[in-house]
Amino acid sequence: MELLSVAEMTCADALAVKDGGDSFALMQRAGQAVAAAAQVLAPSGDIVVVAGRGNNGGDGFIAAADLAARGRNVAVALLCNPETLTGDAARAAKEWHGPLLPFVPRSLGKPALVIDALFGAGLDREVKDEPRAMIEAINASGALVLAVDLPSGVNGNSGEAMGVAVQATRTVTFFRKKPGHLLLPGRLHCGKVSVADIGIPPRVLDVIHPKTFENDPAWWRGHFPVPGIAGHKYGRGHAVVMSGGMAETGAARLAARAALRAGAGLVTVASPRDALAVNAAALTSVMVREIGTAVDFASYLEDARLNACVIGPGAGIGLRTRDMVLTALSGPRAVVLDADALTSFADMPQTLFDAIAAQPGAQAVLTPHEGEFARLFASLANKDHLLSKLERARLAARESNAVVLIKGADTVVAAPDGRASIAENAPPWLATAGAGDALSGMIGGMLAQRVSAFEAASIAVWMHGEAARMFGPGLIAEDLADVLPNVFRDLYRRFDVNL
């Protein structure tokens, strides 16, 4: 579940050695894990290991020796003179007695498998010269490719391709995944990722205290709301979704139905008068109430049972939406701000951030896509080429005092305290109009059930992706809420919940 940065993984290795481990034994286990994966991926045919000068290359030498001992025809193409290797990598190279090829593209030949052990996860510079030519040759070879730790050229922290990157068929990493395995475009280069146990004791995580997690049910299981047999609808919270004018009501209804399906006990659409009839005619289990002004909204929110608000989907951009947002933030309730609510503060973001900071309980979730993020967090967007999506989400959460969710195929959720989750379960057909409105409603439904903001957003993101995966191609936003019962059933089985 934990994702380790490059520095944290280095620390894990060091702690394992300090705890009585042997660094070369760790390398041996890593190389043996690579060899085992190679044998499964390519049971026959020639194998070429492309090795670099660091420990990643050392892993490659160990894998080569193991595969040769199994009777495979293996050769190693090494980036540098073997005499210049140091430490464990030098020791691993001395144990290799097979062919050592020149580090040129033609050395690849026509193998069944290339093992990419060129660069590790810590690469932070653009790939140039001979390594670039070799990576391009690997990608053009037509061979299966097994990457060691991370495809060479991908930055382990950001997922960025540093000029060029290996396109792997499979990747074997060690102890824990890195953010670069999940963030785009890195994830697209990895193929299927497996994590090998190389003997690093899990207790090292108690020292590292990682704050980045793969967004998976195993991580948030303890926060997942399960209704009690003796419960009632008011115990599961009451979410309010703000609607815009008559021509902009669909988004609010998508959010409202998703909030109800996500488990909120009651959901009301707060609607201006001109849209009241449209909303009422299209909704059944979701209630509708006329709310024309911020004064009306403030009066309505005096009912303490209204514990979650969703504002933004189809709300309209401008003063009315800003006033509604500030009104919602003035009391002790959870608030989801999406779409028009975010854009309405594009010219005055600090006003929004100050209101969130002053909110009793401070349970606010902002859900921008990249365009909305750029408008609301202009200073961070201007550094887009310097900061990863994970870094931008963390900085935005700290700046805004809110949980920030940056949507996409690799949705990142970040909390002001530095915790973050990265999702990888969104299928391509989830990119459809209205899907974000349904997501904001699902977050609102989780918040209504009194799930804390960071966990509520992360759970909703995963369920959103899982609902889309279950439905399959042809998905439209209206389908998401209707598939949620199936998602719940699967989660209850996974969590062994007996209702």
Query: What integer pLDDT is reported at residue 386 of this predicted model?
Result: 79
Query: What integer pLDDT is reported at residue 156 of this predicted model?
Result: 97
409 is in an annotated binding site: yes
| Cβ atoms of residues 456 and 249 within 8 Å | no
Dihedral sign for Cα atoms in the order 143, 144, 146, 152: positive
Residue type, 200: I
149 is in an annotated binding site: yes
| Cβ atoms of residues 211 and 420 within 8 Å | yes
3-state secondary structure 224-269: CCCCCCCCCHHHHCEEEEECCCHHHCHHHHHHHHHHHHCCCCEEEE
Query: What integer pLDDT is reported at residue 483 of this predicted model?
Result: 98
482 is in an annotated binding site: no
123 is in an annotated binding site: yes
Query: What integer pLDDT is reported at residue 21 of this predicted model?
Result: 85
User: Hey, is 192 helix, strand or coil?
Assistant: strand
Interior CA angle at 271 toward 266 and 275, to 5°? 130
477 is in an annotated binding site: no
248 is in an annotated binding site: no
Backbone angles phi, psi at 46, to 5 degrees: -75, 150
301 is in an annotated binding site: no
| Cβ atoms of residues 205 and 2 within 8 Å | yes
490 is in an annotated binding site: no
| pLDDT values of the chain reduced to their tens digit, one per residue, 499 residues | 899 999 999 999 999 999 888 999 999 999 999 999 999 999 999 999 999 999 999 999 999 999 999 999 999 999 999 999 999 999 999 999 999 999 999 999 999 999 999 998 989 899 999 999 999 999 999 999 999 999 999 999 999 999 999 999 999 999 999 999 999 999 999 999 999 999 999 999 999 999 999 999 999 999 999 988 888 898 899 999 999 999 889 999 999 999 999 999 999 999 999 999 999 999 999 999 999 999 999 999 999 999 999 999 999 999 999 999 999 999 999 999 999 999 999 999 999 999 999 998 879 999 999 999 999 999 897 766 779 999 999 999 999 999 999 999 999 999 999 999 999 999 999 999 999 999 999 999 999 999 999 999 999 999 999 999 999 999 999 999 999 999 999 999 999 998 7
Domains in the chain, CATH or no CATH each: 6-210 (3.40.50.10260), 217-224+232-494 (3.40.1190.20)
13 is in an annotated binding site: no
228 is in an annotated binding site: no
Q: Residue 385 burial by CB count (10 A; 0-12/13-18/19+): exposed, middle or buried?
A: exposed
Element (DSSP H or E) covering residue 476? none
Structure tokens at 175: 């102890």
468 is in an annotated binding site: no
- Quick one: residue 214, left, alpha or beta (phi over 0 = left, psi -120 to 50 = alpha)? beta
58 is in an annotated binding site: yes
Q: Using alpha carbons, select from 496, 487, 448, 432 the residue that is nearest to residue 464.
A: 487
Query: What integer pLDDT is reported at residue 107 of this predicted model?
Result: 96
| Cβ atoms of residues 181 and 190 within 8 Å | yes
0.75 exceeded by pTM: yes
307 is in an annotated binding site: no
232 is in an annotated binding site: no
192 is in an annotated binding site: no
Tally the residues of the chain.
499
126 is in an annotated binding site: yes
Q: Using alpha carbons, select from 111, 122, 138, 130 the residue that is nearest to residue 7.
A: 122
Alpha-carbon radius of gyration of the chain: 26
| Cβ atoms of residues 121 and 3 within 8 Å | no
Dist. CA 310–CA 238, nearest whole Å: 11
CA 181 to chain centre: 10
Q: Cα dihedral angle (259, 261, 263, 264), rounded to 10 degrees?
A: 40
Structure tokens at 422: 């990265």
| Cβ atoms of residues 351 and 345 within 8 Å | yes
Q: Using alpha carbons, select from 175, 176, 172 the residue that is nearest to residue 192.
A: 172
Element (DSSP H or E) covering residue 335? strand 334-337
408 is in an annotated binding site: yes
277 is in an annotated binding site: no
251 is in an annotated binding site: yes
Backbone angles phi, psi at 305, to 5 degrees: -70, -15
Structure tokens at 99: 């062919």
Query: What integer pLDDT is reported at residue 384 of this predicted model?
Result: 63
